[in-house]
Amino acid sequence: MTKELKGIAASDGVATAKAYLLVQPDLSFSKSTIDDAQKEIDRLHTALDQSNSELETIRAKAAESLGEEEAQVFDAHMMILADPEFTGAIETQIKDDSVNAESALKSVSDGFITTFEAMTDNPYMQERAADIRDVSTRVLAHLLGRSLPNPALIDSEVIVVAHDLTPSDTAQLNKKFVKAFVTDIGGRTAHSAIMARSLEIPAVVGTDEVTKDVTNGQTLTVNGLTGEVTIDPSADQIAASEKAAKDYAAQKAEWAQLKTAKTITADGKHFELGANIGTPKDLDGVLANGAEAIGLYRTEFLYMDSSELPSEEDQFQAYKQVLEAMNPKPVVVRTMDIGGDKKLPYLPLPAEDNPFLGYRAIRISLDRQDIFRTQLRALIRASAFGNLRIMFPMIGTINEFKAAKKIFLEEKDKLVQEGVKVSDNIQTGMMMEIPAAAVLADQFAKVADFFSIGTNDLIQYTMAADRGNERVSYLYQPYNPSILRLVKHIIDSAHKEGKWAGMCGEAAGDPIMVPILMGMGLDEFSMSATSVLRVRSQMKHLSAEYMQTLAERAVTESTTNEDNEKLVAEFTAEDK
């Protein structure tokens, strides 16, 4: 029966396809005493064999669609299945304790996991703990006759349906087959949504219940522009969805004509439109969409894609590739922002009640200077190959900025002493995403070379509303005058000191925010590469001078987010 759901529009585009549920099955079981140990051992071996052949298939598919490097994780899993220390311990426990295979498997793997996780100074062994957890879940599923979903096995066009997707789940989605995704939870600025936009996969998040309503193979239509999802659509609804997809494609083709144009407003003012990237692989999208800069390179994905801390050389190669491809256009590289929803398996951090308010980003870098200095050296060496700007994330105090800058200068001096060629024109700036820093922007503007406003975090911290929690998404208000006053103060403070201010949070590409930011004189707008041409087209039709009046009224007269939505509609209605 047809059912309609409404979620948060998280990535533009429209799709119709069959649902693929990426949901963990129920793997609960009870411990039981058995008489026939050999029978349990045989069951165990059948499950081990089934797991092995499944892993062989997954490995082959992953190598084909995602590359050899991504596929290698499955080799480690197959090695565990073949390790007599692991399988032998399970057999012994079945025999000695007369227990069923499920409980012997669980107790043996828990034992290994606890031992390996305790080796806090050995990241390699800690990672093995994660592998054992994965493998034992797979074997357990086979023992219980359940099947685990696996994104690598998708080989026909589908719409992925999940409770939530982590950034690493999203990275595994193969754009060729995954036409869209829909989740129960999440927000527009969660990192999986940001990645969906750079992969150009339409997405609707925060539907609350999609995993309960949909079964595998049911047809879905997904509209990532409006947040609408239809389960089992009628023929008319499918036709309407196909028309919406066609209209969107036509709209994109029109925007594409602006690819080589500069971003000039109706009254002749130029704004710089940059793109946000997560890895050098995103460069294709940046170039295809005619971005004038990279306003945010989120380097934490380099750490997340690796199975250990990336070496100085590996980082150098990645940064050099991006700088060379963009040269002479500027590239703002942000130092590692791990924490919050971005985790590293080989750098286990203690569980925190409030990870977004916890040990993350510059707080880790200043504490783990070994990691920070390696990254800075790689960046400074790469500076000889393009127009590098370094940015520190999550700066809350002047002392944090000064400490980070001091370490940067020390590493730069060392490299110069070593005779390494480096640029002598590297700007060092900061993310403006913590309200305490935004309020003191006038003071920060004396020490930082530039600001880039991170609205994704600035809004969540100012409104006290988790950016990934759909239940409080009504409070996630980019146009609330409180946010706009902070944004204006940041821009004005930068300008007073002769510095520039950009924005790399998702609001920079928001069609309602763009006119206000133009009026405030924001210098650089950085967004998902796929939004660049839409914003260039929008700016072409607006007068920057007229938008100054809009911006002024938005911070002085309006009292709510909705007031400002109306105000923007008024000011942009006549293409002023």
Ligand X SMILES: C=C(OP(=O)(O)O)C(=O)O
Residues that bind Mg ion (CB under 5 A): 433, 454, 457
Query: Using CB under 6 A as the criterion, what x/- string covers residues 392-411 for binding ligand X?
Result: --------------------
In this structure, the number of other CB atoms found within 10 A of the CB of residue 424 comes to 7
Cα-based distances in Å from 418 to 193, 379, 415: 43, 15, 5
Instruction: Establish whether 489 is a catalytic residue.
Output: no
Q: Is 456 in the site for ligand X (CB under 6 A)?
A: yes
Smallest distance from the beta carbon of 564 to ligand X, in angstroms? 19
Count, residues in the chain: 576
Q: Among candidates 356, 355, 449, 437, which has minimal Cα distance to 399? A: 437
Q: How far is the CB of 525 from ligand X (least distance, A)?
A: 12
Q: Give the integer Cα–Cα distance in Å for 550 and 517.
A: 10
Residue 275: strand pairing partners: 294, 527
Strand partners, 205: 8
> Nearest distance from residue 457's CB to Mg ion, in Å?
4
Q: Which of 77, 142, 191, 489 is catalytic?
A: 191
Residues 517-546 that bind ligand X (CB under 6 A): none
Characterize 116-147 residue by residue with b for buried, 16 or more Cβ atoms within 10 angstroms of its Cβ, and e for exposed: bbeeeeebebbbbbbbbebbbebbbbbbeeee
How many residues contact ligand X, by CB under 6 A? 10
Min separation Cβ 268 and ligand X, Å: 30
**Closest approach of ligand X to the CB of residue 298, in Å:** 5
Is-contact 402 447, C-beta < 8 A? yes
Contacting residue, 207, 211, 387, 455, with ligand X by CB under 6 A: 455
- Residues pairing with 558 in the sheet: none
Q: Quick one: what does residue 298 bind among ligand X, Mg ion, none, with the CB cut-off 5 to 8 Å set by partner type?
A: ligand X
The nearer residue to ligand X, 90 or 361, going by C-beta atoms, is 361
Closest to Mg ion by CB, 278 or 454: 454
| Tokens standing for residue 150 | 């696996």
What's the CA gap between 115 and 111, in Å, rounded? 6
Least distance (Å) between residue 252 CB and ligand X: 24
Answer yes or no: 504 catalytic.
Answer: yes
Contact with ligand X (CB under 6 A): which of 61, 128, 138, 298? Answer: 298
Q: Could you say whether residue 59 binds ligand X (CB under 6 A)?
A: no
Q: Which residues pair with 431 in a beta bridge?
A: 452
**Which of 141/332 has CB closer to Mg ion?**
332
CB of 450 to ligand X, least distance (A): 14
328 preceded by cis ω (within 30°)? yes
Helix (H) or strand (E) run with residue 574 in it: none
Considering only 29-37, 204-212, 452-460, 476-484, which stretch makes contact with ligand X by CB under 6 A?
452-460
Output the smallest distance, CB 463 to ligand X, in A: 13
First-last CA distance in the chain: 47
Q: Which stretch binds ligand X (CB under 6 A): 93-101, 104-112, 436-444, 448-456?
A: 448-456
Nearest approach, Cβ of 11 to ligand X (angstroms)?
15
Residues 495-514 that bind ligand X (CB under 6 A): 504-505
User: Could you tell me the smallest distance in angstroms from the CB atom of residue 189 to Mg ion?
Assistant: 9
Question: Catalytic residue among 77, 142, 489, 504, which?
Answer: 504
Give the footprint of ligand X on residues 334-353 (CB under 6 A).
337
> What b/e readout covers 18-50, taking b as 16+ CB neighbours within 10 angstroms?
ebbbbbeeeeeeeeeebeebeebbebbeebbeb
Interface positions, 428-447, toward ligand X (CB under 6 A): 433
Interface residue with ligand X among 131, 228, 449, 457 (CB under 6 A) is: 457
Q: Select the span of 81-89, 404-412, 454-462, 565-573 touching ligand X (CB under 6 A).
A: 454-462
For ligand X, give the closer residue by CB, 128 or 298.
Answer: 298
Interacting stretch for ligand X, rule CB under 6 A, among 80-88, 254-262, 321-329, 449-457? 449-457
The single-letter DSSP state of residue 99 is B
Which residue's CB is nearer to ligand X, number 19 or number 273?
273
The entry of Mg ion, ligand X, none near residue 519 (CB within 5 to 8 angstroms by kind) is: none
Residue 290 binds which one of ligand X, Mg ion, none, with CB within 5 to 8 A depending on kind? none
State how far the Cα of 30 lies from the Cα of 70, in Å rounded to an integer. Answer: 35
500-503 and 387-392 strand pairing: unpaired
Nearer to ligand X among residue 233 and residue 505 (C-beta):
505
- Binding ligand X (rule: CB under 6 A), the pick from 454, 478, 509, 521 is 454
Asked whether 363 and 337 are in contact (CB, 8 A), the reply is no
Task: Compute the Cα dihedral for 126, 128, 131, 132 and give only its sign.
Answer: negative
Stretch that binds ligand X, among 150-158, 382-390, 455-463, 516-524 (CB under 6 A): 455-463
| Strand arrangement, sheet containing 203-205 | 3-6, 228-231, 219-223, 14-21, 158-162, 178-183, 203-205, 8-11
- The answer to whether 292 contacts ligand X (rule: CB under 6 A) is no
Q: Judged by CB, which is closer to Mg ion: 58, or 501?
A: 501
State the binding partner of 455 from Mg ion, ligand X, none, CB within 5 to 8 A by kind: ligand X
DSSP 266-285: TTS-B-EEEEEESSGGGHHH
| Beta carbons of 516 and 546 less than 8 angstroms apart | no
Tell me whether residue 229 or residue 522 sits nearer to ligand X (CB atom). Answer: 522
Written as one letter, the residue type at 361 is A
DSSP string, 520-545: HT-SEEEEEGGGHHHHHHHHHTS-HH
For residue 8, the SS3 value is strand
Q: Kindly tell me which of 58 and 431 has the beta carbon lying closer to ligand X.
A: 431
Write out the two tokens for 485.
């006053």
Nearer to ligand X, 99 or 491 (CB): 491
C-beta of residue 181 within 8 angstroms of C-beta of residue 193: no
State how far the alpha carbon of 24 is from the alpha carbons of 174, 219, 374, 482, in Å.
Answer: 20, 21, 38, 41
Question: Residue of minimal CB distance from Mg ion?
Answer: 457
Catalytic positions, please?
Answer: 191, 504
> Where do contacts with ligand X occur on this chain (CB under 6 A)?
296, 298, 337, 433, 454-457, 504-505
